[in-house]
Amino acid sequence: MSKKQAFWLGIDCGGTYLKAGLYDAEGHEHGIVRQALQTMSPLPGYAERDMHQLWQHCAATIAGLLQRAGISGEQIKGVGISAQGKGLFLLDKQDRPLGNAILSSDRRALNIVQRWQRDRIPERLYPVTRQTLWTGHPASLLRWVKENDPQRYAQIGCVMMGHDYLRWCLTGVKGCEESNISESNLYNMSTGQYDPCLTQWLGIGEVDSALPPL
């Protein structure tokens, strides 16, 4: 295989596996490597993932794919990342993983969502976000952290989802894609921006400065 040939890397971080695929300019596949991911459930309804371990698995999967294909990292011209949406991946104010990631299948915020429903918060949110409230949304999980782990909440430096975290690990750049953040209940569908009214309604206005650039 030519050392000058260009390739594109695809990464998919799902609920049970992380996969990496290699493709040429014509879209031909040149290999796929996947690795099982561990989901931890320390209490009923909890679904967590070790953020350090996730990045280690991702790096090892990419390295294994390149080695198997016999190409170097310099030949990669672009990277695409998809991941299980929603959930909550937090960095602290020193850009270190802040506890385990909470996955979208987690149900610990059920009582909070039910309380919001009784208070008719969804009726206020929907015209702005076009989203209902769900236990696995970043907004619901942030409120849970605020109420149940205030020390952790006070240390939040950046709010991310899975694909944002992996992109940050790969590039050092913080950011969030609109197609994903639009499902978070933190995003105004009309303005295409974060809306501080939403975080105020949800009682998590302290995180406004920790939301990553769109």
State pLDDT tens for residues 133-181.
999 999 999 999 999 999 999 999 999 999 999 999 999 999 998 888 8
Tell me the torsion sign for CA atoms 45, 84, 180, 171.
positive
Residue 162 · residue 13 · CB < 8 Å: yes
What are the tokens at 3?
């050392």
Q: Name the residue among 73, 49, 62 with its Cα closest to residue 21.
A: 62
How crowded is residue 78: how many other Cβ atoms within 10 Å of its Cβ?
10
Per-residue pLDDT at 32 exceeds 70: yes
List the domains of the chain with CATH numbers.
7-210 (3.30.420.40)
On whether the CB atoms of residues 60 and 35 are closer than 8 A, the answer is yes
Task: Give the DSSP H/E element, type plus range, for residue 121.
Answer: helix 121-129
pLDDT number for residue 2: 59
Instruction: Choose the weakest-confidence range: 98-112, 117-131, 177-191.
Output: 177-191
Strands (DSSP E) found in the chain: 7-13, 17-23, 29-36, 48-49, 76-83, 89-92, 101-102, 156-160, 187-188, 193-194
* Distance of alpha carbon 148 from alpha carbon 143, whole angstroms: 9
What is the number of residues in the chain? 214
Structure pTM? 0.93
